[in-house]
Each structure stands twice: as C-alpha cells, then as structure tokens.
Structure 1
C-alpha cells in the first residue's frame, strides 16, 4: 500500500523544512496548528492543509510524522484527548522524528500495533539548515517491511538513513549520539574559557585544534562564539540538551551502566538553564562558563 498523504505534527524549526520538502516531492500534506504561525502559514501557502488536533491529522493521513520536543509531548499527542490512538487503523504508520525515551517508544509501538498500525522511531541529526535542504540524517527503528514502505517519504527530507534495528533502537542510538555531541560542546566550552582566561589567541586555538586529533565538529562550531560572537552553527537549545542528557542517563540507569560524564554534562546544562540560558543555543555554554569563572558578567 503506497503512501500518498502525509501528516506532520510539530512544524517548528526542523518540521518546517521537513514539510516543505514533502510538498515539493508531490505528496499531499496535512499539518497540525502550531503556536508559531509563520511556518504553518508558509506550508499552507504551498498547498498543505491545516487541522487543529492530532486525530484530525491522522484521519486523512497514511503516515503521521512527529517532530516535537520529547516524550511527554509524544505521549499526549498519542494518548490525549483527540489523540492519534483514536485514528489508528490497519496500515497507518506513525514515525517519531523526536528525541524520546526508548522505553516509552516501545510501549507506544505495542499499543499502536494492537490496533493494526505501526509506530516507528526515526530521530534526526543535523540542523534546520539541512532540514530545509532535504539533507537530514535519520536513524530508524522498526520492522524492515514498514521501513521500506515509508522510506520514499523519509528520503524527501533526509540524505542519510541508517537502520538501527527494532522499534526503540533508533531512539537509543540518538541518545548516544546526542550524549557525544553535548559532551563535546561542554568540553569545548571549558577549553575555550581556559584559553580566554590564559590570554590564548582564539584564532591560534582554532587552527591548532582543528588541524589535529582534538578536532571535533562541535568545537568548530563553538569557536565561532569568541571569534565572531556567532552561535548560529549549532541551533540547538540548551534546555533541549538538558532534556536529552536526562533521557540518556535514564537509559543508562535502566541498563544499568555507570555514566559519570553524562551526569556532569547534564548538571552543566541544568546550571545554564537556571542562569537563564535555557532557550539559548548550545554554543552559549561558553558564556555560562565565562560567567562562572569571572570573565563575563
């Protein structure tokens, strides 16, 4: 059964790019109303239909893509009043592009499958720039047959698709990936702060780090803050980093695995959030570290 009509819930920074590319590839698109009207209205102007709740979106869709903050929002969308469960039927696929707790993903998938549908995890990597360009990276978790059926839709907005295994495995992989990325950012923020305190030339720091074994994509993004006060290369809110690290440590505790570095990085993001940086992008961990160390007021 081919997919012709796509639903999209979560038309924010990432969701707008996803929806734009789905429309450009010729699929019918229904989006759910969003507090940020600009991206919704842009997609509607391009041919999308707008509905007020998840149930209405799902009733006219072959696949519903979720692109929201995390597990509480997903569970509300699925189980809440006018939730997706009311429209689950044979063949309906719900693809969760959010970063979520794997245990919840597995539970939801079982409930959706009991009604004849499929719930799969398809979390993303990269930024809104790649979302707009149709070049996101996706991890997928779910049955091979289901993934093959929805792959043409996923390829509308992703140029890298890695199958992780059964339902829940992609969200596990995403949490590990984000743990690495956020910890790299925390380490880079501390290193840049030390360099500032010591009077090290920032251009020299960038050139030597990026030319050797200490190089990382995240360092390359964060060093733009002291060089040009530019945090746009990593448009990911510190509050979301805090959430993702807590999901990761919840997962490690359930395994169980000791996760010393994740706990430390999580507390750095908690501190940053408490200092008022929660909605700022992750490179602003540099400002937090400089404030704590008396280099910034």
Structure 2
C-alpha cells in the first residue's frame, strides 16, 4: 500500500483492530510490547515488527499512532527519558487517536515541532467490532500538509475521515461527541430505571424507542444489555466514560462556559466509579441506576 513506516502504541480493544487493518492492507508496521501479549503476538504473526520503548518506536516510524487511555498516558509516552520526543526526527508524524485534553495536545504538538516532527489528533468514533472491520470514523486536527500525509493510513481503519481544522480540533470535537453519547447513556439509564419502577419493562420501552426519532446506533448497543444480558456488545468502560466527561468539564472551564448538563452526566458516571463499578461497560449503567433506586433488574 505504501512505503511509509507505520508505528502503533496501544494495541488494546480498539488499537488491535486498527493496527491489524494497517498491516493487512500492506503497510510496514511496528508495534510496542504490551503486558497483554496476545494482541502483540497476533500482529507479529501477521507481519508486524516489535519494539520495546517509545523512543525505538519513534526512531522506527514515519507515522506513529497512539491509542491509549488519555492525556496522562500520552504525555508520559512523549516526555519520558526513553519517550517519543527522545526519538523524534525530521518528518515524523505522531497521530494521537485517544480521547485527550486539547490544550495538552497543542502543547505536545509544539514540542514535536521543535524537533522537526509534527502531530495530529485523530480520535475515534465506533466500537471494537468496527475497529476490526475497518469501519471506524476519525475526526482529525492537523495542518493540511500533515493531513494529506496521514489520510491514506487513516483510511485503512476508518470508513469516515473528517479533517476539522488545526491540531487540537479533533480532541475538541471528540469531547463534544462523547458528551452527546455519554449524556444519552445517562438519560437512557435513568429512563429505564423510572420505567421499571412504574412497571414498564426494558422490552416494552425498546418496542417504542427502536425505529423512532429517538433511535440511534448508540442506543441500539446500549440497550442490548438490558434486553438480552449481552455484556460485550458495547465495550467502553464506565471509568473511561467518567474520564471523558472530566475532560469535557476541563474544556468548558477553560472556555469559561457553564455546562450544567455535562456536570450532571459526569456525576452519574462518577457515582458508578465511586461504588466500584468503573471496570464495567457503559450499558451496565442502567442496572446501577436502577439498583441505586431500589429497583430490581
């Protein structure tokens, strides 16, 4: 597909599918070792190489993708003594596909620029299943030149790629996107708890919402746990959801704007994490809110 050397750090639930599409579609790929060896070994079996440190990854890559939890992890990968900045070189492009704090992204981009390298933020829309199928969406913040260089590789794992503007804009839009989706999750969970309390089952609730103007892809995966007990159809943890809404609050604070609904949604996810359910997936929120109100599920 191309002669650019591609690196990938973070081959977890989302990253494995993205990286597998890159290597299967002909790009030379290097991945970084991870405590969960299974996805790394799978990618190596498909033809990827393995590196041990972020510095080695930077040195071995023309385009280096990052798919980790958030800004603290990204900043560590970039700034540690054996980090990406230590191995940055002219022409390197670092593409952060995580959900991160925009101001952090803009600061890191400036540090890379001082090394002759560049940064883009390309956070994701979609599920792990869509990652494996190459059907994610990407909302990209980058200069026109950087976007042109990375777009062919983005298309290896994304069905929809939108260039929003300069670096940082991707993460700004991702926080807005997740505010909508996770806000829906909080609303669905509370609506289902009220429904059960007044004698409306999840099945009856779904018979009205599905196919109506209130239906959407997020609803369809969210509701499956309440309908069928499928624990894995919507693999996004409550702790990650809480983190994303904290980042949204930070962005709103910097913009000096009130975000009342965002704060309410954040506190719903904060409650779930505070009671020890942060490792559960977002659709479990319906069960958590019901139980908090003494409603059996």
Secondary structure at 1:82's aligned position in 2? Answer: coil
Over residues 174-200 of structure 1, what are the superposed CA-to-partner deviations in whole Å (9 max), with x where a residue is unaligned? 000000000000000011111111111
Question: Are the equivalent residues in 2 in contact too, given 1:99–1:123 (CA < 8 A)?
Answer: yes
For residue 144 of structure 1, report the CA deviation from its aligned partner: 0.6
* Structure 2 match to 1:263: 263
| Count of aligned positions | 296
For residue 96 of structure 1, report the CA deviation from its aligned partner: 0.3
Question: Are the equivalent residues in 2 in contact too, given 1:70–1:98 (CA < 8 A)?
Answer: yes
Question: Are the equivalent residues in 2 in contact too, given 1:63–1:92 (CA < 8 A)?
Answer: yes
For residue 242 of structure 1, report the CA deviation from its aligned partner: 0.3
Question: Are the equivalent residues in 2 in contact too, given 1:206–1:220 (CA < 8 A)?
Answer: no
For residue 230 of structure 1, report the CA deviation from its aligned partner: 1.7
Is residue 234 from structure 1 mapped to residue 220 from structure 2 by the alignment?
Answer: no
Over residues 102-152 of structure 1, what are the superposed CA-to-partner deviations in whole Å (9 max), with x where a residue is unaligned? 000000001101111101101001011011011110000011111101111
* Structure 2 match to 1:202: 202
Question: Are the equivalent residues in 2 in contact too, given 1:131–1:157 (CA < 8 A)?
Answer: yes
1: distance between equivalents of 2:155 and 2:217? 24
2: distance between equivalents of 1:20 and 1:112? 27
CA pair 88-3 structure 1, distance change in 2 beyond 3 A: farther
Question: Are the equivalent residues in 2 in contact too, given 1:221–1:231 (CA < 8 A)?
Answer: no
2: distance between equivalents of 1:121 and 1:41? 27
* Structure 1 match to 2:50: 50
1: distance between equivalents of 2:201 and 2:17? 38
Question: Are the equivalent residues in 1 in contact too, given 2:182–2:241 (CA < 8 A)?
Answer: yes
* Structure 2 match to 1:145: 145
2: distance between equivalents of 1:92 and 1:245? 31
Could you list the runs of 5+ residues in structure 1 that have no partner in the other structure? none
Question: Are the equivalent residues in 2 in contact too, given 1:3–1:63 (CA < 8 A)?
Answer: no
1: distance between equivalents of 2:42 and 2:219? 34
2: distance between equivalents of 1:134 and 1:277? 30
2: distance between equivalents of 1:223 and 1:130? 18
Which ranges of 4 or more aligned residues in structure 1 deviate by more than 4 Å?
Answer: none
* Structure 2 match to 1:167: 167
For residue 3 of structure 1, report the CA deviation from its aligned partner: 4.9
1: distance between equivalents of 2:3 and 2:76? 25
TM-score by length of 1: 0.97
TM-score by length of 2: 0.97
Equivalent positions of 1:84-163 (< 5 A) are: 84-163=84-163
1: distance between equivalents of 2:56 and 2:223? 45
Question: Are the equivalent residues in 2 in contact too, given 1:31–1:51 (CA < 8 A)?
Answer: yes
- Comparing 157-166 and 227-236, the one that deviates more: 227-236
2: distance between equivalents of 1:219 and 1:26? 35
2: distance between equivalents of 1:45 and 1:85? 29
* Structure 2 match to 1:4: 4
